[in-house]
Chains A and B, each alone.
Chain A
Amino acid sequence: MKYQSFVGLEIHIQLISKTKVFCSCPNHFGDEPNSNVCPVCLGYPGALPSLNEEAVFKALKVCKALDCYINEKVIFDRKNYFYPDMPKNYQITQFESPFGVDGFFNLELDDGSIKKIRIHDVHLEEDAGKMIHDGYQSRLDYNRAGTPLLEIVTEPDLVAGRDAELFVQQFRQMVRYLDVTDGNMEEGSLRCDANTSINLPGKGLGTKTEVKNLNSSRFVNKALTYEIKRHGKVIDKGGEIIQETRLWDEKTSTSKSMRTKEDSHDYRYFPEPDLPPYRVTDVLMKEVEDSMVELPNDRKKRYMDDLKLSFDQAAFITGERKTADWFDSLLSIGSDANQAASWLSGDIQKILNKEDVLLENSPFIPKRIKELFELINDKKISNNIGKEVLQAIFKEDKDPSVIVKDKGLEQVSDSGAVEKIVEEVLAAHPAVVDAVRAGDDKQVGFLMGQLMKATGGKVNPQMAREIIVNKIKLDISGDSQSRDPKIIEKGSEK
């Protein structure tokens, strides 16, 4: 690569909050158009904004997670421009002194290495309404107007489209962990604008272009890869990059110019006189700190280092905070990490995918899974029966012990009972017995199969195998008393 490329991101997230950021209307989507509106968010004459503390708290959580410096005196500003979906024709945002500045995000690259991406600032602002063009009409819905948006601006520390894609994915995962947004890109609760420039190595930043309307991390990658290539071609031909805003068109997989710097707005920022400077108190910061959770990359590292999970397992479990929380709570009641991880990423996930249910909403509560593991580990049921029980937990929403009892799935581990069944099987297949006795050990498998078939798989397989072998080749395996005493004990208890 002849040129060095620089990529920066501006990410908007819709904050989860009961009310809008400056009024008491519900911050809720999907309602009847213009039903969640009031004089404040409709910009009626005389209405004033009053700041929502919940949004402030969530903004501070993100600042904290990004290790930002929190400004002591947080100032809101007015950003002036006319747009029909913006009720006041200015947006209340933050310009000079936002909540957080100078933070960083540890981005994990594909090779597992960590790259520190500097965060320029984190600021809180209000969203606009929605204009819907419908034939010859334009219709306006102000339900979204005044809902809280948090904008996170990175420094141009990313290099390629793939970096940006990873950043969006990992950042999204983080803010979902923080429970500040649902992070749904398709629905616009996480929106991304990407800017890029290229230059010869050592020459610093080039002239940048910005691509807007990227509603998936994959598009972020594609658009940036396209732009970096486009910049290279232009410069190779001796041309110059024009500073401009471009739109990504997924259909054609190209970007096209939206507006150049010449027609960009002068936003005439000035401090919002209706909101006094906000002072972040130590008490509030303490509350924010107390509310912080272990962030996904830290958690993943802990799973790999302390619990010795594989990268894939750890990545899978930490993908969603609720999955990781579920996993941790399973471990906290005494289950083994490896057993938990392999069941979670295996059979449990298989069922959830098939049924399209989230783990946290499923009947798979940690207590039940722990019980299931115990049944397996105590050899009361086999691993295979365990899978059956798991299905039943999902379908019947019952505890595994109840299912095992109801369905009579408990393994037969009583040596007398097993011996009786073995004898029946051996009697039914004398030729095979002879073959085994002659040294064809593979045929033991056949006898086991028959045994399992006859009992519906409920016989303790280890015990059954030993009994078969002993019965046929007493001279080979010696005294049957060498069986695991624990099993006998357990079986005898019954």
Chain B
Amino acid sequence: MSIKSDRWQNLLSDDSLWKSYNEYVNKWEKSIGSFLQFDADKTKGDSSSDGLLKGMPFGVKDNIAVKGFDMTCGSKILENFNCPYTSTAVQKLQGAGAVVVGKMNMDEFGMGSSTDNSALGETNNPWDKSRVAGGSSGGSAASVAAGQVPFALGSDTGGSVRQPASFCGVYGLKPTYGTVSRYGLTAYASSLETIGICAESTAITRDVFNTMKGIDNMDNTTVDYKPSGKDDTEIIAVLKVGENDLSEDVLNSYRVSQQRLKDLGYKLIEVELPTLKYVVPAYYVIATAEASANLARFNGIRYGLAQKGAETPSDLMQMSRNSGFGDEVKLRILLGTYVLRSGFQDQYYHRAQKIRTAILNDFNRIFEEADALMLPVFPTAAFRHGSSDLTQLQQKAADLYTCSANLAGLPALAVPSTIEKGLPVGVQFTAPAFEEERLFRISEKLEEIFPAQKPEGFSEEWKI
């Protein structure tokens, strides 16, 4: 399979096409603000490589390193940080002919589910500007939904690619942990996160994934890619959900998805994940613990915001961190510092690791009977900006369906399903490690009959 979207192929080499594309991007930017940096001139014509992705423009979440672009991570502390190197994943895409056109907005350091935690700009959902695009890879998902780019890289620590993909109606892949190099991905929670993909089709998702995967000497956690070879699915396990677990719209969509799979000839079995109720606390313990160390490097000394008026190096560190980090980031650093205190690790960190093993065991049990597991992405469709629909705490609790795959290191794909009251709702599939192709095939079958819907204002020819 290769990419069908010929419309992107000549974009960079055809000046008039490029001009209308630029206008199209700018028009959408006024209403959605998906980019933190869009710098067409710098990269245009930089598609020298001939490859699978030749000429394809793409966006990169602003926590992934691309030399020559800034890398802000949506934070004031890195607002003026010009990145001196390129991540392995982006290098591989560039090697296949794809061209970075910009850096995408995100929740500060990936901490959030709405992109509202970005210190540097607001991103709106292309389907409804009063609503969030999701997060933390909100800019990536929104730009793909609006047709600004065919795909954009995100990062998924607890659902940060799949949830915004679902909110915006695009495909969102979190690969198996260790298959895509994290070299160049600003670390939030190293043991949980991977670089992920938001894309307009399953085919593009597949091509981008296959281009990026592989062992990297710069990332010792990358592993040999060894799928079982069983790419086709017969039995799909479906997570049993209660009436109150999901919003009415999402519950409805979830049922429609099941019916569609039945119609496509899959055998469905209903399953439960007994550990699911523990995953959110476990996820937040591990994520914040790792974050407290990962974010310690931002101290204003070698790069980033250096607060003026400091008299000693330690003053400089404290003042820069105090003014450079947003509240959510500070909260998570404090939480992480708390759970790692000596004498408290058994209660928090070690316990969380046990839950991690337990959820993986849950999944493994299911995969003895089924080829893949279907589960919701998020309990609601895109919510409104601010905390009127969901408080910050409710947003965290809602990570349960997505963060399980991160705890277990498994691949998971969010697939656009239905439109409910004008908002897209996706559904999620997960499979054993390295079985991305299995997920792509399920997604492709659904896509053939129920292709992703487009928001109003979307144009394949970049017509305003």
Contacts and interface: CB of A to CB of B under 8 A. Distances in A.
A47 B337 CA distance: 22
A44 B85 contact: yes
B342 A268 contact: yes
Interface size class of B (residues with CB under 8 A): 35 or more
Contacts of B292: 80, 268
A33 interface: no
Contact of A274 (B71, B221, B345): B221
Contacts of A87: 297, 302
Given A82-B314, A138-B313, A46 B337 contact: no
B301 A140 contact: yes
A416 interface: no
B293 A48 contact: no
Interface stretch (B36-44, B183-191, B363-371, B374-382): B183-191
Given A45-B73, A80-B296, A275 B183 contact: no
B87 A90 contact: no
Contact of A84 (B63, B217, B317): B317
Contacts of A270: 289-290, 293, 340, 345, 349
Given A82-B314, A87-B302, A274-B190, A46 B297 contact: no
Contacts of B183: 46-48
A39 B85 contact: yes
B65 A46 contact: yes
A386 interface: no
Contact of A45 (B220, B289, B297, B341): B297
B71 A46 contact: yes
Interface in A243-290: 266-270, 273-276
A471 interface: no
Contacts of B345: 270
B303 interface: yes
Given A43-B297, A46-B64, A50-B217, A273 B190 contact: yes
Contacts of B220: 48-51, 274-276
Contacts of B316: 84
Contact of A48 (B84, B218, B341, B349): B218
A48 B342 contact: no
Contacts of A267: 342
A20 to B, nearest CB: 14
A274 B303 CA distance: 22
B140 interface: no
B349 to A, nearest CB: 6
A273 B191 contact: yes
Contact of B297 (A48, A89, A276): A89
B103 interface: no
**Would you call the interface of chain A mostly helix, strand, loop, or mixed?**
loop
A380 interface: no
Interface string B292-326: 11001111011100000000111011000000000
B296 A88 contact: yes
A45 B302 contact: no
Nearest to A50: B220
Contact of B303 (A44, A82, A90, A268): A44
Given A87-B302, A268-B341, A276-B220, A46 B296 contact: no
B186 to A, nearest CB: 4
Contacts of A89: 293, 296-297, 299
B174 interface: no
Interface in B34-76: 63-65, 71, 73
Contacts of A42: 302
Contacts of B217: 50
Contacts of A268: 292-293, 337, 340-342
Contacts of B190: 273-274
A319 to B, nearest CB: 40
B78 interface: yes
A131 interface: yes
A265 to B, nearest CB: 10
Which residue among A49, A51, A268, A269 has the maximum number of chain B CB atoms within 10 Å of its CB? Answer: A268
Contacts of B296: 80, 82, 88-90
Nearest to A78: B293
Interface residues of A, number: 32
Interface string A369-388: 00000000000000000000
A48 B301 contact: no
Interface in B58-114: 63-65, 71, 73, 78, 81, 84-85, 87
Contacts of B349: 270
Interface in B177-196: 182-187, 190-191
Contact of B182 (A48, A90, A266, A276): A48
Contact of A90 (B78, B81, B293, B298): B293
B301 A276 contact: no
A86 to B, nearest CB: 9
A131 B313 contact: yes
A42 B345 CA distance: 29
Nearest to B290: A273
B219 interface: yes
B357 to A, nearest CB: 14
Nearest to A84: B313
Nearest to B189: A273
Nearest to B316: A84
Contacts of B314: 82, 84
Contacts of B340: 80, 268, 270
A379 B349 CA distance: 80
Nearest to A39: B85
Contacts of A47: 85, 183-184
Contacts of A39: 84-85
A273 B316 CA distance: 28
Interface string B209-240: 00000000111110000000000000000000
A85 B333 CA distance: 21
A125 to B, nearest CB: 15
Interface of B: 63-65, 71, 73, 78, 81, 84-85, 87, 182-187, 190-191, 217-221, 289-290, 292-293, 296-299, 301-303, 312-314, 316-317, 337, 340-342, 345, 349
16 contacts: A43-B297, A44-B303, A45-B65, A45-B71, A45-B186, A45-B297, A48-B187, A50-B219, A78-B293, A80-B293, A80-B340, A82-B296, A84-B317, A142-B302, A270-B340, A275-B220
Given A48-B182, A268-B341, 20 more contacts: A39-B84, A44-B302, A45-B71, A45-B81, A46-B71, A46-B183, A46-B186, A48-B218, A48-B221, A49-B220, A50-B217, A80-B340, A84-B313, A90-B293, A131-B313, A266-B342, A270-B289, A270-B345, A274-B221, A276-B221
